[in-house]
A and B are shown apart, each in its own frame.
Chain A
């Protein structure tokens, strides 16, 4: 039963990893940009939530009403003001610029909020759990995280394939020049994609901060988890990203079950094994 429990908890953790990954997958799909600061933005969103909560006394989940639009606005501004200048062509400039952003963000958070680790308190929902059978309890919070991940991915999927905004994203992704001839302003399309990505980042940040302690320097490892979920699932496939997150979560859960020191290592090893046998991921969409 311990093993079943480890797998179930791993699946639910996978929901959080899918939340880390969805925003990354989205902007790669639209503009082939890999945002090295993605993890730091997740942690940044957690701090924004912390500030909102200490100012208003809202529950962390309710604070999303403010944190999501704030992060989306930051994303729009970041893309429009900075990242649009380095996108396209050579892959080095966007990598270095987002790398620089990552370092700036980490140290800014350190300066403003100190190195102490923090946590958001969501009240009794954090400890309550659903008893499925003896020895197998499912916490409401992990369950809620997983449901949120499924809902977000379903809405992104809907947005991509059923709305005019999604059509603009797909058109720009397929051929930026033709899309422009057809009257799309690529710079604005990219800015909306980044806004959407950071809206998802906001949700990921708040769920992360309710679940565990966070500090200014835990961004890069969130980036790596998200990245692994994207690659395992296959580039450009949002449901694949959820599957990738779940595989990563289960591998970590099983690793931790064997030896607590192996938790992270097991996740990375699962990623490398999949990379060796299915270099394009399990369900690839984009070449």
Chain B
């Protein structure tokens, strides 16, 4: 009898991992080999990839389909502004604070929205984001409904214009890679196994002792913390905040959902493919204005009808390949021939 071995990676995935490391190192060094316009584009790419990865963790792995993550983007942005205006902090130092407070505020929010199931959970999270937006518009100390700009002195603390751009890019890079690595490690851990079980069959996993409620809450809080940190960074790059921009459902939720769905929901690779495609489409079709958004919406619908696992789902189906091996594979087992 032949003995079977269990492994997580394949030769292809190890080669891919090697190439990915080279790419990551190259990206870390981007400020030294690319123009400042490209650096700003790369920063935005990192921001969207981080947002997409955290929404994917939430919806693709924990089954929490939120359409209200813009609540945390705006929360992070406003928190960063408050830290700068009232505490005189360096804007970058506000990012970890936004993470902690974003995670904390997600707990009472979860108390409300977790009472709603499935699609109603989705719209419930949207209501919460509306509450955040309307509350921000009521706070005159942060500019009320019309918003305000970041003080020039606060940005000077980050150095000259080019130094600032490099610093912001490296922060976006760190947040993005950090988000991807954290999610990868979570998915390979016991929590990842539990999440897979929940995704495949919630009732069966509950009966096997998976603490569904606690795990979902933990994932929701982690995703909120990550999103709030990215929100703080987004508004450092924008230099100006207003309730409508901070809590924009289009910019921070619709695009992010389309990115994940088109790339492949419930896979680590999906958000990367989706973000790449999103930027390619945006750079080539943005002149079309409203038509561009219609094309994006239609693309999401077509993907859902034709290949619900997204573009990466097609790759996996065809080549059985994984860049981020989070599952297990058994080899050496020969099928019985009786």
Contact = CB atoms under 8 A, between A and B. Distances in A.
Specify whether A and B are partners: yes
Interface of A: 33-34, 36, 82, 85-86, 90-97, 99-104, 106-108, 110-111, 220-221, 223-224, 227-228, 231, 261-262, 264-265, 268-269, 271-272, 275-276, 279
A276 B305 contact: no
A220 B301 CA distance: 19
For the complex of A and B, the 5 pairs showing the least CB-CB separation, nearest first, are A34-B119, A103-B297, A279-B115, A107-B290, A100-B297
B148 interface: no
Interface of B is mostly: helix
Contact of A261 (B123, B138, B290, B300): B138
B28 interface: no
A256 B290 CA distance: 34
Contact of A93 (B134, B293, B308): B308
A34 B294 contact: no
A82 B301 CA distance: 9
B254 interface: yes
Given A92-B65, A265-B134, A279-B116, 11 more contacts: A34-B123, A86-B304, A99-B67, A103-B296, A106-B293, A108-B294, A227-B127, A268-B127, A268-B134, A269-B131, A276-B111
B301 A97 contact: yes
B293 A96 contact: no
A224 B115 contact: no
Nearest to A271: B127
A82 B300 CA distance: 13
Contacts of A34: 118-120, 122-123
Nearest to A103: B297
Contacts of A227: 120, 123, 127
A99 B127 contact: no
A223 B304 contact: no
A23 B300 CA distance: 25
Give the residue among A85, A221, A227, A264 with the most B Cβ atoms within 10 A: A227
B183 interface: no
Given A86-B304, A264-B134, A265-B134, A95 B120 contact: no
B123 A276 contact: no
Interface string B42-77: 000000000000000001000001010000000000
B10 interface: no
Given A103-B293, A265-B134, A271-B127, A231 B120 contact: yes
B336 to A, nearest CB: 32
B112 interface: yes
A261 B146 CA distance: 13
Interface in B273-308: 290-291, 293-294, 296-298, 300-301, 304-305, 308
A111 B134 contact: no
B290 A224 contact: no
Interface string B199-220: 0000000000000000000000
Interface in B290-331: 290-291, 293-294, 296-298, 300-301, 304-305, 308
B115 to A, nearest CB: 4
A103 B258 CA distance: 11
Contacts of A265: 131, 134-135, 138
